[in-house]
Structure 1
Amino acid sequence: MIRGFQGLPLRSRLALLTATAVAVAVAAVAVTCWLLARAQLHQELDTSLRNTSAPMSTAVAAARACGSPGGEDTTQGPSFAFVQIVDANGGRCVALGSEPVRVKAEDIQVARGVIRGSLHSSTTDAGAEVRVHTERMPVPGVGEVAVTVARPLQEINAALGRLALLLTALAGVGAVGAGAAGLWVARTGLKPVDRLTDAVEHVARTEDLTVRIPVEGGDEIARLSRSFNQMTAALASSRDRQAQLIADAGHELRTPLTSLRTNIELLARSEQTGRALPPDDRAALLASVKAQMTELAALIGDLQELSRSDSATPGPVQVVALHDIARTALERARLRGPELRITAELRPWYVRAEPTHLERALVNVLDNAVKFSPPGGTVEVSLDRGVLTVRDHGPGVPPEELPYVFERFWRSPSARALPGSGLGLSIVARTVQQAGGRVELRPAEGGGTVAVISLPGAPTPPPPSVVADERVDQA
């Protein structure tokens, strides 16, 4: 049954649950009303019996008829109640016009004087239900006798029956109305979900990420619609960036590949025709081929590095000494610019980052400084309280180009003739952001450029126990 219910559409389940809940509530209210009405009617009847006494003439006549052998009660009792006299042995004398009521133990106890009065239910000899009130009354010439006054429950039972039928009908109408209202509410309330479903199916069918769902209000459905719009916008942006990356990579690869192909064709033609190239030209072609291959290898390496930075599973984050990584990067920079004067002032600073990626980022920053520094120039490097500053004395970056320096494949027009892929600073920005820091480039006073990398950390390494706990959490 549960599986069948779960197999129903959502709006059908909501309508069924609403109808069931309302039907149960209406049924509970109807039963409560019926029980309260029954209790109230019985209470009013009991009160009426307590306040109703048999006429003295009726009681006297019935008592004398009981006390005289062969006596006969000829006094008419009240029309709305049954009156009879009960003796101590359980005998009874019924008033004229009354129906005999079965004597209970409570009536005998009243007749014997054990209790003063009794209020209980009984039946007539014909089987009709009655409510009985028995009490002792003084009768002149006879003494105290137990007089029973009984009223039939037929009217109350009939009223309760009619009330039960009415409440049952109302409960049925309420359940049907609740089902219809629940279906209407489900259809109305699920319209935003239907729109969202249509949009998702449209995106899955057409891969159109420009679809947006109108957001109304601030409820859960509005939050879901807003989240869907943000998701599609993020996916569209990611797809556009991916397409742009592929286009830019293809454009960057085309130039060295074309040059490499031309040089190789010249060498191959020389071999095929048997016309040897002059030694100087052959050496220049081989040097150009080697340079183009180096450029291609660097570009592919940068693309791989940038792809790893964009992946959802980066390398393990460790507590590393930023000053040591900067010192290693400086050694590599000195090898690439032996004619430059590189000064460094590095103070201890420990950060949480992926060591290989962080070293690659620092190498890229220093490579830029070496590449744009004039021959015999100076590159100044300092690390103080987590702020790494690299200053060169090159031509600098124009202010209008600063917003684009961290974009992929962007290269300044003045630097297009220099080697490079245009991905170095993009890798730097991504690596620094993943480590929780920030990076910026700004013009330096007196000419040149200043690269500033800020990383959160501490001047002393954390205790070994903290590092061990972090490694356990990462595992």
Structure 2
Amino acid sequence: MRGLAHRLRTLPLRSRLALLVASAVAIAVAAAAIVCWLLTRTQLRSELDNSLRNISAQSGAVQDALRGCAAGTNPGTGGTTNFAYIQVVGSDGSRCVFPYSEPVKVQPQDIAVARGTERDTLHNSVTENGAAVRVRTSRVLVGPGSAAVSVSRPLSEIDSSLNRLALLLAAVAGIGVIGAGAAGLWIARAGLRPVDGLTLAVEHVARTEDLTVRIPVEGEDEIARLSRSFNSMTAALASSRDRQSQLIADAGHELRTPLTSLRTNIELLARSEETGRAIPPDDRKALMASVKAQMTELAALIGDLQELSRPDAADPGPLQVVALHEVVTHAVERARLRGPDLSVGSDLRPWYVRAEPAALERALVNVLDNAVKFSPSGGSVEVALTEYGELTVRDHGPGIPAEELPHVFERFWRSPSARALPGSGLGLSIVARTIHQTGGEIALRPAAGGGTVAAIRIPGAPTPPPETYRPETP
């Protein structure tokens, strides 16, 4: 059985389908043929038994048999008749065969009828020549007494018909199985044609890495669903590869500027050391400050790239119950240190959320850093956390044009007006990703009177559950 199962698994799918269809049809046809043959045999046997009862009822034939036996006429193995064999059975097992009948072996059932213990019997027996017969023995009144008369007919009458029927059913079943196998192979080929197309498409993608391949979709069956899934998969892979290529290109572009500036400054310092020409102290101080700033910008850019290198579906870390108002307070303190000439006000209500504390704090610091960066000197930043859990950060900077708002959360995108300011264009992308991982949402909109409002909503509650995370105060 294991070897057969292994051989079946090695066959092509269409061959297995054709074989399964042919096997199913063969079993069904064989079962139908057997049932048909059994029903026919039962019907023929029933008709034969009825004919024996009718013959037994023909008193003329029975009386002739009795008179012949009484006269001592027993031709023994006389001539055969085309209709029935008749013989009289004695209580001692003796028999008197009707002329032109084949002598049939007396069975115990016949003797029981002759002795009067049974009224009649119906059974199989054989002639002296070994031919199978169907026998009916019954008691017949003869004058003041009675006698047992056996009437039999050869079973070859129905056996030959049953044999011809069996051959006919076998031929029909064979033709049906062959036809079913051919039909199954044709159906398998027609049904698996879309699978062949899908296989060719997958092999083409594996060979050429061409993710623009699409499979035509027809209908709503499983093959159509599989084709749609394949098309969706290749589209997602193509989009992922495009984003990866864009990320590498954007990262290279963003890294080129600080690296070029850093290399220039280092070359100036190296040339000064090699030539012995000292750089004026003020210029050297400015040069070192530029190097430090470029290194800081590179470190921040690399950190942002590491954060974005994680897949969107990656586990952000263990979620904890976080006191959002305290995290915002911490971020506000840091914003005040980075913008000492700004007024950063806050109006915070208690709100507790489930998030990864470090990632959430980093995201909120990025939002406030943006507000500080774009605020004019002497301006103000207003932070509010309502009792319904909406956090807003409003600045009074130049604002964001309406046509640029759809792009603010894209990686490396920077407004033309912000090209001269430090940054990589990754901060808001990281913020949006972090907020979405907590089940929240973030949006930027123009503020009344100028500036921009960043609105963040994270699911939570105003009351603190157990094990609440509270950030450390710097």
RMSD: 2.0
Aligned to 1:52: 55
Is the 1:58–1:77 contact (alpha carbons within 8 Å) kept by the matching residues of 2? no
Q: After superposition, give the CA deviation of every residue in 1:302-325 in whole Å (9 maximum; x if it has no partner).
A: 111222364624322222222222
SS at match of 1:327: helix
Matches within 5 A, 1:404-443: 404-443=407-446
Is the 1:212–1:229 contact (alpha carbons within 8 Å) kept by the matching residues of 2? yes
- 2:358 corresponds to which letter in structure 1? T
Q: 1:76 to 1:303 in 2, by over 3 A?
A: closer
Take 1:76 and 1:200, find their aligned partners in 2: how far apart are those partners?
A: 83
SS at match of 2:385: strand
Aligned to 1:146: 148
Take 1:174 and 1:109, find their aligned partners in 2: how far apart are those partners?
A: 50
Instruction: Say whether 1:108 aligns with 2:111.
Output: yes
Aligned to 2:472: none
Aligned partner (choices 221, 229, 240) of residue 231 of structure 2: 229
Q: 1:255 to 1:237 in 2, by over 3 A?
A: same
Aligned to 1:167: 169
Is the 1:76–1:95 contact (alpha carbons within 8 Å) kept by the matching residues of 2? no
- 2:231 corresponds to which letter in structure 1? N
Matches within 5 A, 1:33-432: 33-53=36-56, 55-67=58-70, 70-71=72-73, 79-140=82-143, 143-308=145-310, 310=312, 312-384=314-386, 385-432=388-435
Q: After superposition, give the CA deviation of every residue in 1:110-168 in whole Å (9 maximum; x if it has no partner).
A: 2222222211111111111111111112224x632112111111120000001111111
Q: How far apart are residue 172 of structure 1 and its match?
A: 1.5
Q: After superposition, give the CA deviation of every residue in 1:144-197 in whole Å (9 maximum; x if it has no partner).
A: 211211111112000000111111111112222222122112211111111111
Take 1:330 and 1:247, find their aligned partners in 2: how far apart are those partners?
A: 34
Q: 1:297 to 1:330 in 2, by over 3 A?
A: same
Take 1:62 and 1:45, find their aligned partners in 2: how far apart are those partners?
A: 21
Q: How far apart are residue 457 of structure 1 and its match?
A: 1.6
Where in structure 1 are there 5+ consecutive unaligned residues?
A: 468-475
Q: How far apart are residue 226 of structure 1 and its match?
A: 0.7
Where in structure 2 are there 5+ consecutive unaligned residues?
A: 469-474
Instruction: Say whether 1:15 aligns with 2:18.
Output: yes
Is the 1:339–1:376 contact (alpha carbons within 8 Å) kept by the matching residues of 2? yes
Q: How far apart are residue 78 of structure 1 and its match?
A: 6.9
Q: 1:79 to 1:239 in 2, by over 3 A?
A: closer
TM-score (norm 2): 0.93
- 2:353 corresponds to which letter in structure 1? V
Is the 1:347–1:383 contact (alpha carbons within 8 Å) kept by the matching residues of 2? yes
Take 2:174 and 2:96, find their aligned partners in 1: how far apart are those partners?
A: 50
Is the 2:74–2:99 contact (alpha carbons within 8 Å) kept by the matching residues of 1? no
Is the 1:79–1:97 contact (alpha carbons within 8 Å) kept by the matching residues of 2? no
Q: How far apart are residue 72 of structure 1 and its match?
A: 5.1
Is the 2:79–2:102 contact (alpha carbons within 8 Å) kept by the matching residues of 1? no
Q: Bigger shift: 56-65 or 214-223?
A: 56-65
Q: Bigger shift: 380-389 or 247-256?
A: 380-389
SS at match of 2:341: coil
Take 1:73 and 1:246, find their aligned partners in 2: how far apart are those partners?
A: 115
Residue identity (%): 71
TM-score (norm 1): 0.93
Take 1:25 and 1:246, find their aligned partners in 2: how far apart are those partners?
A: 64
Is the 2:69–2:98 contact (alpha carbons within 8 Å) kept by the matching residues of 1? no
Q: 1:175 to 1:38 in 2, by over 3 A?
A: same
- 1:283 corresponds to which letter in structure 2? K
Is the 2:69–2:97 contact (alpha carbons within 8 Å) kept by the matching residues of 1? no
SS at match of 2:56: coil
Is the 2:212–2:234 contact (alpha carbons within 8 Å) kept by the matching residues of 1? yes
Take 2:8 and 2:174, find their aligned partners in 1: how far apart are those partners?
A: 22
Take 1:311 and 1:456, find their aligned partners in 2: how far apart are those partners?
A: 19
Take 1:77 and 1:177, find their aligned partners in 2: how far apart are those partners?
A: 47
Q: 1:50 to 1:461 in 2, by over 3 A?
A: farther
Aligned to 1:471: none
Q: How far apart are residue 61 of structure 1 and its match?
A: 3.5
Q: After superposition, give the CA deviation of every residue in 1:364-389 in whole Å (9 maximum; x if it has no partner).
A: 10001111111221211111222111
Q: 1:369 to 1:157 in 2, by over 3 A?
A: same
Is the 1:65–1:73 contact (alpha carbons within 8 Å) kept by the matching residues of 2? no
Q: 1:113 to 1:76 in 2, by over 3 A?
A: farther
Q: Bigger shift: 249-258 or 113-122?
A: 113-122
Take 1:72 and 1:249, find their aligned partners in 2: how far apart are those partners?
A: 121
Q: After superposition, give the CA deviation of every residue in 1:25-70 in whole Å (9 maximum; x if it has no partner).
A: 11111111111111111111112222333643432343234345x4
Is the 2:74–2:97 contact (alpha carbons within 8 Å) kept by the matching residues of 1? no
Take 1:283 and 1:58, find their aligned partners in 2: how far apart are those partners?
A: 144
- 1:83 corresponds to which letter in structure 2? I
Q: How far apart are residue 73 of structure 1 and its match?
A: 7.6
